[in-house]
Structure 1
Amino acid sequence: MQRAGRLANRTAVVTGAASGLGRAVAVALAQEGANVVLHHLLPDEQAAATETARQVQALGRTGIVVQADITQPAGAYTVAEAAIAAFDHVDILVNNAGFRLKQPFDGMTLELFEATMAANMGGTFLMVRHLLPLMRARSYGRIVTTVDSTAMEGARGMTAYGAAASALLGFTRSLVHEFGDNDITANCVCPGHLPPDADGEEEDWAGITPAYVFLASDDAYAMIGQTLRPSP
């Protein structure tokens, strides 16, 4: 018999779920009982995203795959609509998709800087914009956003990416002031020492995924605008 789990009967949307940390988080949520909408960006990630869905389904949960560019309004809408069509509601949003640009400042252009901000901040903004009303309608929601350690520590060649990561922190800390009396929370996870491609095997994330599960659960009702910093 399957145990109910802390996330039984919850529906989660995980962006950037084709592989690496996104896959590990999606599987960890499913292990605790959640059904999962698995977002990926590129057509050539379809096989990897399907493998993530297979792992979710092997746990007795439902996993559906959605390809979309969530930095565009239509793409974020596509993910939200797929979630509603499959599950009627969304309880958990994990913002994990992003673009990691390493570019020395001397070679940085305004176009590169703006593109990096849009790729990282824009997708999160649009997913929250589409899913927060659904959470408000049920007076319940958990929003968890992956934030790179450059937001805390900085790094050579990471001026644009570090700025985008810091923007995610500020966005989350301000967003929580707009939830009213609803049981909705928004928090960040800032994993330590992520590999450059963030594409490790599931076991590589064993020390990180519990932070996501906790923040996605009822147990995190008092966590408001916080940042957890687990290490692999």
Structure 2
Amino acid sequence: MQRAGRLANRTAVVTGAASGLGRAVAVALAQEGANVILHHLLPDEQAAATETARQVQALGRTGIVVQADITQPAGAYTVAEAAIAAFDHVDILVNNAGFRLKQPFDGMTLELFEATMAANMGGTFLMVRHLLPLMRARSYGRIVTTVDSTAMEGARGMTAYGAAASALLGFTRSLVHEFGDNDITANCVCPGHLPPDADGEEEDWAGITPAYVFLASDDAYAMIGQTLRPSP
């Protein structure tokens, strides 16, 4: 008999779920009972996203693939509408999509800096903007955002990306003050020592995905604006 799991009957949206950490998180949530909307950005990621859905479905859960540019309002709306059409509600949002830019500061332009901020902050902002009202309507929600370690440690060539990662921390810490008395939480996971291409196999993420499962569960009711830093 399949165990119920900590996330039984929950619905999750995972952005950037075609491969790597996003896929691992989506599968980990499904292992605990969640049905998952699996977002990806590029058309050529369709096959990889479909494989993520296959792994979710192999666990007896529903996995639905949605392609969209969530840095644009219409794209984020598309993902939200897919979740509503399939499940009528969303309990968990994992903001994992992002654009990792390495560019020495001497070659940085304002346009590139702003584009990096928009690519990393914009999608998270818009997904929260669309899904938070659904969570408020049910007085329940879990928002978990992936934050790169450059937000904590910095790195050469990462001024724009590090600034965007730090902005996600500040966004999350302030967002929690908007929830009122609802059982809604927002927290971050800042993984350490990621594979160089951030696209490792499932075993590379075994030490990281439990942090997401915990923050997505009822057990994390007292975690408010916190950042967990697991390493594989």
What range is the shorter-chain TM-score in? over 0.9
Question: What stretches of structure 2 of length at least 5 have no aligned partner?
Answer: none
Distance in 2 of aligned mates of 1:68 and 1:202: 24
What is the CA distance between 1:75 and its match in structure 2?
0.1
Distance in 1 of aligned mates of 2:87 and 2:48: 23
Instruction: Classify the secondary structure of the residue corresponding to 1:193.
Output: coil
2:157 maps to 157
Distance in 1 of aligned mates of 2:26 and 2:178: 27
**CA offset digits 1:8-33 (Å, max 9, x no partner):** 00000000000000000000000000
Instruction: Classify the secondary structure of the residue corresponding to 2:70.
Output: coil
Distance in 1 of aligned mates of 2:48 and 2:176: 33
CA contact under 8 A between 2:38 and 2:65: conserved in structure 1? yes
1:174 maps to 174
Distance in 2 of aligned mates of 1:211 and 1:24: 12
**CA offset digits 1:191-220 (Å, max 9, x no partner):** 001123210011110000000000000000
Instruction: Classify the secondary structure of the residue corresponding to 1:4.
Output: coil
Instruction: Classify the secondary structure of the residue corresponding to 1:94.
Output: strand
What is the CA distance between 1:167 and its match in structure 2?
0.1
Distance in 1 of aligned mates of 2:203 and 2:163: 30
Give the TM-score, by structure 1 length: 1.00
Between the two proteins, the alignment pairs up a number of residues equal to 232
Instruction: Classify the secondary structure of the residue corresponding to 2:29.
Output: helix
Instruction: Classify the secondary structure of the residue corresponding to 1:75.
Output: helix
2:137 maps to 137
Distance in 2 of aligned mates of 1:105 and 1:139: 44
CA contact under 8 A between 2:195 and 2:204: conserved in structure 1? no
Distance in 2 of aligned mates of 1:196 and 1:82: 33
Distance in 2 of aligned mates of 1:48 and 1:150: 27
Distance in 1 of aligned mates of 2:115 and 2:95: 18
CA contact under 8 A between 2:90 and 2:134: conserved in structure 1? yes
Give the TM-score, by structure 2 length: 1.00
Distance in 2 of aligned mates of 1:161 and 1:78: 26
Following TM superposition, the consecutive aligned residue runs of length 4 or more in structure 1 with deviations greater than 2 angstroms are none
Distance in 1 of aligned mates of 2:15 and 2:196: 18
- Percent sequence identity is 100
Verify: 1:80 aligned to 2:80, yes or no.
yes
Distance in 2 of aligned mates of 1:166 and 1:196: 20
Instruction: Classify the secondary structure of the residue corresponding to 1:211.
Output: helix
Instruction: Classify the secondary structure of the residue corresponding to 1:3.
Output: coil
What is the CA distance between 1:55 and its match in structure 2?
0.1
Question: What stretches of structure 1 of length at least 5 have no aligned partner?
Answer: none
How well do the aligned residues superpose, as a CA RMSD in angstroms?
0.4
Name which of structure 1's ranges 189-198 and 130-139 shifts more when overlaid on structure 2. Answer: 189-198
Distance in 1 of aligned mates of 2:110 and 2:197: 24
Distance in 1 of aligned mates of 2:196 and 2:156: 13
